[in-house]
Structure 1
Amino acid sequence: MTLPCITAARRFDASAHRPFYFGDERVGWIRERDVALLERWPDVFEIGGGAGQARVALAAGFDTVAARSAALGSVIGALAAEGRIPGWRNETYAIRNAFDAPPLAYIERAASRFFGTMTYAVHLNGVVEYGDSGAPQLWIARRSDTKATDPGMLDNVVAGGIGWGFGVEATLVKECWEEAGIAADLARTARAGRTAHVLQSLPEGTQAEQIFIYDLALPADFVPHNQDGEVGEHRLARIDETARWIEEGAMTVDASLATLDCLLRRRWIDEDACEGIAAIFEPPTL
Structure 2
Amino acid sequence: MLVTARARLAAALAPSARRYRPLLVNADIAGWVDDARAERLARFGDVFVVAEDAVEFASDLADEPARSDAMAFVAATLYREGALSAWRNERYHVGPALGAAPLFRLERAAARYFGVHTWAAHINGLIRRAGETEMWLARRSHMKAIDPDKLDNLVGGGVATGLSVAETLVKEAWEEASIPAALARQAQRRDEVEIRRQQHDGLQWETIFAHDLELPADFSPMNQDGEVAEFRLVALSEVVRLLNCAGSDSEMTVDAALVVLAYLDRIAATGSMRRIPFY
| TM-score when normalising by structure 2 | 0.91
Instruction: Decide whether the 8 Å contact of 1:9 with 1:198 is kept in 2.
Output: no
Partner residue of 1:258?
259
Deviation at 1:97, TM superposition (A): 2.4
Between 231-240 and 133-142, the greater mean CA deviation after superposition: 133-142
1:108-187 paired onto structure 2 within 5 Å:
108-130=107-129, 133-187=130-184
**2:38 counterpart (23, 35, 39):** 35
What amino acid does structure 2 have at the position aligned with 1:63?
Answer: A
Instruction: Decide whether the 8 Å contact of 1:125 with 1:138 is kept in 2.
Output: yes
Instruction: Decide whether the 8 Å contact of 2:195 with 2:277 is kept in 1.
Output: no
Q: Matched residues in 2 for 1:129 and 1:217: separation?
A: 7
Per-residue CA deviation, residues 140-160 of structure 1 (Å, 9 max, x unaligned), is 000000011110100000001
What amino acid does structure 2 have at the position aligned with 1:47?
Answer: V
Partner residue of 1:65?
64
Structure 1 residue ranges (4+ consecutive) displaced by more than 6 angstroms after TM superposition = none
Partner residue of 1:282?
277
What amino acid does structure 2 have at the position aligned with 1:226?
Answer: N
Per-residue CA deviation, residues 66-122 of structure 1 (Å, 9 max, x unaligned), is 011111111111110111112110001011121121111011011110000000000
Cα distance, 1:238–1:140 mapped onto 2, change above 3 Å: same
Q: Matched residues in 2 for 1:5 and 1:167: separation?
A: 32
Instruction: Decide whether the 8 Å contact of 1:199 with 1:208 is kept in 2.
Output: yes
Q: Matched residues in 1 for 2:260 and 2:278: separation?
A: 19
Q: Matched residues in 1 for 2:112 and 2:87: separation?
A: 12
1:184-203 paired onto structure 2 within 5 Å:
184-203=181-200
- Unaligned stretches of 5+ residues in structure 1: 272-277
Cα distance, 1:190–1:5 mapped onto 2, change above 3 Å: farther
- Same amino acid, percent of matched pairs: 41
Deviation at 1:219, TM superposition (A): 1.0
Q: Matched residues in 1 for 2:256 and 2:114: separation?
A: 23
Cα distance, 1:251–1:38 mapped onto 2, change above 3 Å: same
Instruction: Decide whether the 8 Å contact of 2:137 with 2:152 is kept in 1.
Output: yes
Per-residue CA deviation, residues 234-279 of structure 1 (Å, 9 max, x unaligned), is 0001112111222224111111111112222222xx79xxxxxx8x
Cα distance, 1:164–1:283 mapped onto 2, change above 3 Å: farther
1:178-257 paired onto structure 2 within 5 Å:
178-249=175-246, 250-257=251-258
Instruction: Decide whether the 8 Å contact of 2:49 with 2:55 is kept in 1.
Output: yes
Cα distance, 1:244–1:283 mapped onto 2, change above 3 Å: closer
Higher relative contact order (CA 8 A, sep 6+): 1
Deviation at 1:15, TM superposition (A): 4.8
Instruction: Decide whether the 8 Å contact of 1:125 with 1:158 is kept in 2.
Output: yes
Partner residue of 1:274?
none
Q: Matched residues in 1 for 2:124 and 2:87: separation?
A: 27
Q: Matched residues in 2 for 1:234 and 1:8: separation?
A: 28
Q: Matched residues in 1 for 2:37 and 2:143: separation?
A: 26
Q: Matched residues in 2 for 1:155 and 1:8: separation?
A: 19
What amino acid does structure 2 have at the position aligned with 1:257?
Answer: L
Per-residue CA deviation, residues 49-70 of structure 1 (Å, 9 max, x unaligned), is 2xxxx21111122110001111
Per-residue CA deviation, residues 117-141 of structure 1 (Å, 9 max, x unaligned), is 00000010000111xx252110000
Q: Matched residues in 1 for 2:192 and 2:12: separation?
A: 13
Q: Matched residues in 2 for 1:60 and 1:254: separation?
A: 37
Partner residue of 1:91?
90
Between 70-79 and 120-129, the greater mean CA deviation after superposition: 70-79
3-state DSSP class of the match of 1:136? strand
Q: How many residues align?
A: 269
Deviation at 1:13, TM superposition (A): 2.8
**1:7 counterpart (7, 10, 13):** 10
Between 11-20 and 212-221, the greater mean CA deviation after superposition: 11-20
Cα distance, 1:81–1:15 mapped onto 2, change above 3 Å: closer
Deviation at 1:8, TM superposition (A): 5.1
**1:22 counterpart (11, 15, 25):** 25
Q: Matched residues in 2 for 1:15 and 1:183: separation?
A: 44
